[in-house]
Copies of this chain bind each other. A is one copy, B any other.
Amino acid sequence: MIGPDEIADGLSDDVLASVEIMVTAGSTFDPDLVAKLPALKLVACFSTGIEAIDCDLLERRGIQLTTAAGVNAHDVADQAFALMLAQWHSVLQADALVRDGGWQQGFLQGLAPRPSLKGKRAGIVGLGRIGSEVATRAAAHAMDVRWWGPREKPDAPYERVGSLGALAEWADVLFLACAASAQNAGMINRSVLDALGPRGIMINFTRGMLVDESALRSALMSGQLGGAGLDVFLEEPTDAALWKDVPNCVLSPHIAGFTQEAGEDMFGQLRENVRRCISGEELLTPYFT
């Protein structure tokens, strides 16, 4: 076992030549290091997202990759809904109102009535494991569900819209559940946010790099976008000053997949993949199939 400190200190070519398994997060990947590991057989990633991992490079060299895909899809979808409902129902404002003594007698209570969620439109970008869990929850909340992704899914029980722009135009709530890959960087740009519009809200709980965050903040501040729920950011931790005057958004510190159970499952699956690689068995969760 070689730890991050030893890697940082530099390792002899002999040691590097003996490395067969690399354990990593999907957000950090050093191709120069991989180039120095001629015996590498497996990159065992303990996260679901693999945005920094050069999959082409691994495939070319016949190096296998395992991820935590699917382990915490339920948890991530639950966080998406926690943020969405908090924004839609003004949970933070309501709690502050009651605690600050601002609740007035009468029918208006100091908050404007919200629109009913029933019949509103949930647009899901990416109908993979997480997107499907989001869809199940949206349907149970009596929302109308459509989705977009680059590939048709003939078995999908929801209608696929022709483009991301068309989905944003249609949706009241846009959920970003797509892969955090390099080609998706910045896909939620100003024109997508404009299509979602002043009554729409965007929920991001996969990777910050999917969104033009500066355009997002401008759209929230101008009212051009109705609201947002964000568990992920372009840089993490995000600079609190960036969000100081940004209204109509609920923020959380990248905790969507971070449950007690998911932690155990992710590391259990990682250990099992490493064990199987060492003993020459078939991997539990191979990425390349």
| Chain A contacts to B: CB under 8 angstroms | 72, 74-75, 78-79, 81-83, 85-86, 88-89, 91-92, 94-95, 97-101, 103-105, 109-111, 113-118, 136-137, 139-142, 236-241, 243-244, 250-255, 258-263
Give every chain B residue within 8 A of A91 (Cβ-Cβ).
82-83, 86, 91-92, 250, 252
**B89-A252 in contact (CB<8A):** yes
Q: Which residue of B lies closest to A261 (CB)?
A: B116
Query: Could you say how many copies of this chain the assembly holds?
Result: 2
**A259-B74 in contact (CB<8A):** no
**A263-B113 in contact (CB<8A):** yes
What are 25 inter-chain pairs, A to B, with CB distance below 8 A? A72-B116, A75-B118, A78-B116, A78-B141, A81-B81, A82-B85, A86-B91, A86-B95, A89-B255, A91-B91, A91-B92, A97-B253, A98-B240, A99-B243, A99-B244, A105-B237, A109-B253, A109-B254, A110-B253, A113-B263, A114-B260, A115-B259, A136-B140, A140-B140, A140-B141
Give every chain B residue within 8 A of A251 (Cβ-Cβ).
94-95, 98-99
Q: Which residue of B lies closest to A77 (CB)?
A: B141
With A and B bound together, what is the CA distance between A103 and B254 in angstroms? 10
**B81-A141 in contact (CB<8A):** yes
CB of A239, distance to nearest CB on chain B (Å) = 8
Give every chain B residue within 8 A of A88 (Cβ-Cβ).
78, 82
**B254-A142 in contact (CB<8A):** no
Give every chain B residue within 8 A of A95 (Cβ-Cβ).
86, 92, 250-252
CB of A183, distance to nearest CB on chain B (Å) = 27
15 further contact pairs, Cβ within 8 A, besides A78-B89, A98-B252, A111-B255: A78-B117, A79-B89, A82-B85, A82-B89, A85-B85, A86-B86, A86-B91, A89-B252, A91-B92, A94-B251, A103-B236, A109-B258, A111-B253, A114-B260, A136-B140
